[in-house]
């Protein structure tokens, strides 16, 4: 709010406008009144001169100047021989020119501007004059009168602006204080009623953000709850296995119990690894922008490495893993994430197929995409389950294959980060086909 | 004692089965609720150890199904979810007791014994009959105050007979209590154990009705032979 207070901006921009308006109004009314008074006074001058002419010689005697000062008219009458017959004002200031132009004339005497009307009558010259200053004074006072109400009104307008801005921004203040009172857990939307139209879009976007945050938090919370629950099972197994080891009485049962305990520890470690991989792969859980991990990588090489790594496991399982990559498959991506993608898919195939199965991994370019397919000749996945297997911990129910239930969830997260798609289908080998397709170039991870 | 273990996790199932067998129980292990239902319909079990979180139909479904057909076999539920509502749902569906994962083997054993005791209508944890005292929790046996050493299977036979003195158990009923599925049964195993027990506890302690089975006479006075 600092720096650009709406209140201060309104006041600072409206008050000069107000002053400008006053200047304009003052000037306009000054000019108008001046013009009007010219006409009016000119008429007066003329009437006065004409009436003096018609009156003949009867003239008011030159009286004390104070009385006539207010009229500001000076009358001067000449005789035909040029001698001054009458001068209404004796003051030195009020001196009309010695020579007369008949009709209206503007003359300057002693630095003072006069409006003079002269007329000829029976050998006399009658001159009636008035200083311009009088007319200007009248115009000025008229102008001042016209702007006075505005001047009085100015502070009222300023106060009104202050108050109105405060009133209009009250909802903003209300929302601000409502938000201030919230803790990190409260992400329900801010009330949208009684909002001015200008503030509503802001509040609506804020509510949109809150909603997205709430959903992200919920996903995260569910994930933590799921993870804790899933960790409980291997830990329960560990506890029982340790208990068995403790009560083993002979060497054979002790080594058996130890073997089981080791397998249990391996399983727990695997689950923790998978949880970490998933946490790193999920776009919303990433602290660093995905682009930071993006580099030019070759999926063919990454997949080759991953398959080579898992090959001994396949042999131990009695299964045959084939790998085919006819050409390099360049894409923009995160090498370690793609590695875990391939590993998880092959691992998944191994876990869900009986011993002696065939697993075929292939990397190829198709159009603008890099494709990875993992085929097996196992039992496959029924069509109605194909969506759900991507859910975290779904695969755990698959009985013997003591997987973490996270493999496909990890694969999906990685693929989504690379703006690709992952599909399950029936494999030509008879089992499951997992088909991943990611943009070949310009496909920065989303 | 024959226990039906319903547990989908291989490692937990394996460990519990091993531990209970070491304690002399006959353990049958199934991995989903429907298999458990089939097993319960087909055979008699002294108790069921049931994991609530099962693939497909869950443990609560099995409980309702069992209780729905008036199967009163005691059920001890095991759950990884420790919310009160889960445990309440299990108990309300007809479970007798519960354990939360991870649990201790000793606690599991104690709860199983307590459940078996209650289902036999006994409050006390030690059985005494005609001078023979057995303590299922410590698996200690004494005769007239003198400790007697029994093998786990001899103990299982004795416990089954002493649980209801006077009741006759056939050879196959005893075998049921001794062996889980897949365990090889020697044809004369029961006779061997009975012989061992008689040697250690006195010949008259266990009697047989030829062709019917074995029993522990209720009291001297009630013997009717």
pLDDT at A394 over 80: no
Q: Does B8 touch chain A (CB under 8 A)?
A: yes
* CB–CB contact A232 B101 (8 Å): yes
Query: Residue A428: left (phi > 0), alpha (psi -120 to 50), or beta?
Result: alpha
CA A363 to CA A326: how far, in whole Å?
8
Mean pLDDT calculated for residue range B66-77: 92
Element (H, E) at A392: none
The tens digit of pLDDT for each residue in A356-375 reads 889 999 999 888 889 999 99
Which CATH code, of 3.40.605.10, 1.10.287.130, 3.90.280.10, 1.10.1130.10, is assigned to A200-281?
1.10.287.130
Nearest CB among A247, A260, A399 relative to B11 is that of A260
Report the candidate in B107, B15, B20 with the shortest Cα–Cα distance to residue A261.
B15
- Tokens representing residue A274 in the block: 């998978």
Angle at A313 between CA A308 and CA A315, to 5 degrees: 90
Distance (Å) of CA A181 to CA A76, A174, A388, A428, B12: 88, 11, 40, 61, 48
Nearest CB among A237, A267, A398 relative to B15 is that of A237
* CB–CB contact B19 A247 (8 Å): yes
Q: What is the distance in angstroms between the Cα of A211 and the nearest Cα belonging to chain B?
A: 28
Q: Where in chain B is the domain with CATH 3.40.50.2300?
A: 2-119
Compare all CA atoms of chain A with the CA of B99 and give the residue at the minimum distance.
A236
Q: Which pLDDT band holds residue A286 (cuts at 50, 70, 90)?
A: very low
Query: Which position has the higher pLDDT, A408 or A3?
Result: A408
Which CATH code, of 3.30.565.10, 3.40.50.460, 3.40.50.300, 3.30.70.120, is assigned to A290-439?
3.30.565.10
Report the candidate in A54, A53, A46 with the shortest Cα–Cα distance to residue A78.
A53
Report the candidate in A207, A194, A262 with the shortest Cα–Cα distance to residue A234.
A262
Q: Does B16 touch chain A (CB under 8 A)?
A: yes
The CATH class that applies to domain A6-159 reads alpha beta
CA B102 to CA B65: how far, in whole Å?
27
B12 chain-A contacts, CB cut-off 8 A: 233, 236-237, 240
Cα dihedral value A190, A194, A198, A201, nearest 10: 30
Which CATH code, of 3.30.1740.10, 3.60.21.70, 3.40.50.300, 3.40.50.2300, is assigned to B2-119?
3.40.50.2300
Q: Does B91 touch chain A (CB under 8 A)?
A: no
Q: Does A437 touch chain B (CB under 8 A)?
A: no
- Backbone angles phi and psi of B208, in degrees to 5: -125, 150
Domain boundaries, chain A: 6-159, 200-281, 290-439
Q: Mean pLDDT of all residues in chain B?
A: 86
Q: Which spans in A2-74 are helix H?
A: 6-55, 65-69
Q: Does B57 touch chain A (CB under 8 A)?
A: no
Q: Does B80 touch chain A (CB under 8 A)?
A: yes
Secondary structure (3-state) at A161: helix
> Which pTM was predicted?
0.59
Cβ atoms of B79 and B9 closer than 8 Å: no
Report the candidate in A310, A383, A385 with the shortest Cα–Cα distance to residue A341.
A310
Distance (Å) of CA B142 to CA B1, B23, B117, B215: 20, 18, 19, 19
CA B184 to CA A236: how far, in whole Å?
29
Element (H, E) at A217: helix A200-247
* CB–CB contact A400 B16 (8 Å): no
* CB–CB contact B11 A399 (8 Å): no
Q: Where in chain B is the domain with CATH 1.10.10.10?
A: 127-215
**CATH topology assigned to domain B127-215:** Arc Repressor Mutant, subunit A (1.10.10)
A244 chain-B contacts, CB cut-off 8 A: 15, 18-19, 22, 105
The tens digit of pLDDT for each residue in B174-225 reads 888 888 777 777 778 888 899 999 998 888 888 888 888 899 888 754 444 4
């Amino acid at each position: 709010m600092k720096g650009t207070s709406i209140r201060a901006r309104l006041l600072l921009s409206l008050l000069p406008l107000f002053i400008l308006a006053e200047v304009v109004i003052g000037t306009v009314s000054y000019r108008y009144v001046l013009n009007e008074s010219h006409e009016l006074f000119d008429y007066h001058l003329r009437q006065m001169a004409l009436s003096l002419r018609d009156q003949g010689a009867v003239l008011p005697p030159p009286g004390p100047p104070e009385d006539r000062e207010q009229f500001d008219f000076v009358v001067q009458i000449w005789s035909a021989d040029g001698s001054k017959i009458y001068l209404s004002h004796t003051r030195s200031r009020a001196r009309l020119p010695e020579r007369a132009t008949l009709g209206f004339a503007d003359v300057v005497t002693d630095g003072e501007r006069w409006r003079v009307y002269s007329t000829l009558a029976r050998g006399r010259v009658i001159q009636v004059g008035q200083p311009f200053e009088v007319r200007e004074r009248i115009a000025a006072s008229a102008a001042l009168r016209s702007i006075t109400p505005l001047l009085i009104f100015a502070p009222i307008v300023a106060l009104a602006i202050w108050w109105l801005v405060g009133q209009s921004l009250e909802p903003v203040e209300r929302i601000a204080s409502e938000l201030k009172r919230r803790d990190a857990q409260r992400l329900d939307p801010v009330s949208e009623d009684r909002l001015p139209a200008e503030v509503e879009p802001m509040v609506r976007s804020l509510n949109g953000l809150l909603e997205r945050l709430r959903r992200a938090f919920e996903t995260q919370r569910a994930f933590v709850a799921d993870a804790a629950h899933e960790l409980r099972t291997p830990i329960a197994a560990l506890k029982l296995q340790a208990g068995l080891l403790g009560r083993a009485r002979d060497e054979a049962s002790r080594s058996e119990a130890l073997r089981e305990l080791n397998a249990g520890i391996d399983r727990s470690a695997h689950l923790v690894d998978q949880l970490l991989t998933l946490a790193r792969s999920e776009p919303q859980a990433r602290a660093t922008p995905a682009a930071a991990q993006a580099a030019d990588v070759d999926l063919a090489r990454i997949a080759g490495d991953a398959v080579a790594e898992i090959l001994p496991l396949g042999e131990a399982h009695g299964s045959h893993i084939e790998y085919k990559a006819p050409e390099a498959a360049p894409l923009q991506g995160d090498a370690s994430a793609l590695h875990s993608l391939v590993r998880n898919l092959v691992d998944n195939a191994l876990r869900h197929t009986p011993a002696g199965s065939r697993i075929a991994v292939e990397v190829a370019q198709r159009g603008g995409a890099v494709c990875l397919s993992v085929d097996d000749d196992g039992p496959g996945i029924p069509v109605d389950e194909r969506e759900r297997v991507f859910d975290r911990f779904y695969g755990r129910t698959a009985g013997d294959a003591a997987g973490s239930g996270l493999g496909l969830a990890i694969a999906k997260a990685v693929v989504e980060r690379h703006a690709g798609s992952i599909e399950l289908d029936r494999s030509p080998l008879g089992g499951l086909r997992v088909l991943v397709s990611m943009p070949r170039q310009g496909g920065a991870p989303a | 004692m024959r226990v039906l273990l319903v547990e989908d996790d291989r490692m937990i199932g394996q460990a519990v089965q091993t531990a209970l067998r070491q304690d002399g129980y006959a353990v049958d292990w199934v991995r989903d609720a429907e298999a458990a239902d089939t097993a319960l319909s087909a055979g008699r079990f002294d108790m069921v150890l049931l994991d609530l979180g099962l693939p497909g139909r869950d443990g609560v479904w099995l409980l309702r199904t069992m209780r729905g057909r008036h199967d009163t076999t005691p059920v001890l539920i095991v759950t990884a979810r420790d919310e009160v509502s889960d445990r309440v749902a299990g108990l309300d569906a007809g479970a007798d007791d519960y354990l939360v994962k991870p649990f201790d083997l000793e606690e599991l054993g104690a709860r199983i014994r307590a459940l078996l005791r209650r289902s036999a209508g006994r409050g006390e944890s030690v059985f005494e009959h005609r001078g023979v005292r057995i303590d299922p929790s410590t698996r200690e046996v004494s005769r007239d105050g003198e400790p007697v050493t029994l093998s786990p299977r001899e103990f299982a036979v004795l416990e089954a007979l002493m649980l209801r003195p006077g009741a006759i158990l056939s050879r196959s009923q005893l075998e049921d209590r001794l062996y889980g599925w897949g365990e090889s049964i020697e044809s004369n195993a029961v006779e061997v154990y009975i012989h061992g027990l008689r040697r250690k506890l006195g010949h008259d302690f266990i009697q047989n009705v030829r062709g019917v089975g074995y029993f522990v006479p209720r009291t001297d006075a009630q013997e009717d032979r």
